[in-house]
């Protein structure tokens, strides 16, 4: 047996446990969810579920509320990820530059990300409460910037914006951390040579930093897009999916738990999986194109 064959054998030996775990905790639940989506199963029912084929998917395609939720979730994903990337890039560039207290700043910027999402969402919901919330007390009572107190989480447009803002506040440090890791891999000599050649700071950022940072950018976008498409905890804690903030995950929860439609809810889960798969394939294709 050649050395190459031995390395391949050792590689598969290390991969087999990972693949086995994936089959147990990943593939099996997915297959089971798909099979359940082909039935009229109800949560807590003692009757055996009946096979209904693709009826749940046909009902789902005709459900106007579902398509509204899908569009809202995609809009939430695009807006929140774009803001997180822009702010994360600014923060990463700042903490990457040398200055006194840089280590402390790098640690402090991770505080929002370190707080559990449920905890941070509950804190923000208290702050945005219309009667005794800090936001209304500061803006309306103390500073007089608002004529009256605002029900931030009751009006659809404001509630959606508040959920986006809380998600951006919570996860921007994660994006900044990934971009900072990419910035640290770029040799300083490249920028020094470009500066000697007369390139401005903006030109160095556009022509050197961004192209060399693309792999880190794609990784950050992949992670954040997948999380944003599956958002549940922050929305559920802040609004329970009310006031125009219903997302795909909360819609799915409502169908399966509140309405006890296990079969239909499983069809919604499969639809969410397919939508996420589209984004994954698009990002992976971009990543391969960039590397190839």
pLDDT band at 292 (very low <50, low <70, confident <90, very high): low
Highest-pLDDT range among 16-25, 90-99, 179-188, 239-248: 239-248
Q: What are 158-176's pLDDT values in tens digits?
A: 999 999 999 999 999 999 9
Give the residue-averaged pLDDT of 178-193.
Answer: 84
In terms of C-beta density within 10 A (0-12 exposed, 13-18 middle, 19 or more buried), how is residue 165 classed? middle
The residue-averaged pLDDT of 27-32 equals 86
What does DSSP assign to residue 259?
Answer: S
* Structure confidence at residue 218 (pLDDT): 86
Q: What is the pLDDT of residues 200-257, one digit of tens each?
A: 777 888 888 888 888 888 889 888 998 999 999 999 999 988 888 999 999 999 999 8
Smallest Cα–Cα separation from 65: which of 274, 278, 268?
Answer: 268
8 A C-beta contact, residue 175 and residue 85: yes
Report the first-to-last Cα separation within the chain, whole angstroms. 32
Helix (H) or strand (E) holding 200: none
Residue 187, pLDDT above cutoff 90: no
Domains annotated on the chain, with CATH: 37-116+166-291 (1.10.3720.10)
Please name the residue that has the structure tokens 């994660």.
174
Confidence of residue 284 (pLDDT cuts 50, 70, 90): confident
Q: Is the pLDDT of residue 1 over 70?
A: no
CA dist 248 and 120 (Å) reads: 21
- Both tokens assigned to 287: 């990543």
Structure tokens at 278: 């589209």
Residues 4-29 pLDDT 10s:
777 888 888 888 888 888 888 878 88
> What pLDDT is stored for residue 215 in this prediction?
84
What residues pair up with 51 in beta bridges, in sequence order?
39
287 Cβ partners below 8 Å, 6+ apart? 215, 218, 219, 222
Q: Is the pLDDT of residue 290 over 70?
A: no
Confidence of residue 281 (pLDDT cuts 50, 70, 90): confident
Mean pLDDT across the chain: 87
Give tens-digit pLDDT for 54-63: 999 999 999 9
């Amino acid at each position: 047996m050649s050395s190459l064959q031995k390395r391949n054998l050792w590689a598969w030996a290390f991969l087999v446990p990972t693949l086995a775990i994936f089959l147990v905790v990943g593939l099996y639940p997915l297959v089971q969810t798909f099979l359940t989506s082909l039935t009229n199963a109800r949560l807590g029912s003692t009757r055996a579920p009946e096979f209904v084929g693709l009826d749940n998917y046909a009902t789902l395609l005709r459900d106007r509320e579902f398509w509204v939720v899908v569009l809202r979730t995609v809009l939430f994903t695009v807006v929140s990820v774009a803001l997180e990337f822009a702010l994360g890039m600014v923060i990463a560039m700042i903490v990457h530059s040398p200055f006194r207290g840089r280590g402390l700043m790098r640690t402090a910027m991770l505080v929002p990300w370190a707080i559990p999402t449920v905890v941070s969402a509950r804190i923000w919901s208290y702050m945005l409460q219309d009667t005794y919330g800090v936001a209304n007390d500061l803006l309306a009572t103390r500073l007089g910037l608002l004529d009256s107190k605002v029900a931030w989480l009751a009006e659809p447009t404001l509630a959606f914006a508040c959920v986006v803002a809380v998600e951006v506040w919570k996860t921007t440090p994660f994006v900044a951390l990934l971009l900072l890791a990419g910035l640290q891999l770029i040799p300083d000599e490249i920028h020094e040579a470009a500066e000697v050649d007369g390139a401005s700071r903006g030109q160095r950022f556009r022509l050197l930093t961004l192209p060399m940072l693309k792999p880190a950018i794609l990784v950050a976008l992949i992670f954040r897009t997948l999380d944003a498409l599956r958002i549940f905890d922050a929305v559920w804690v802040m609004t329970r999916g009310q006031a125009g903030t219903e997302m795909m995950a909360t819609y799915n929860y409502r169908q399966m738990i509140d309405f006890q439609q296990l079969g239909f809810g499983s069809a919604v889960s499969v639809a969410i999986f397919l939508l996420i798969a589209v984004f994954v394939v698009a990002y992976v294709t971009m990543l391969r194109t960039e590397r190839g």
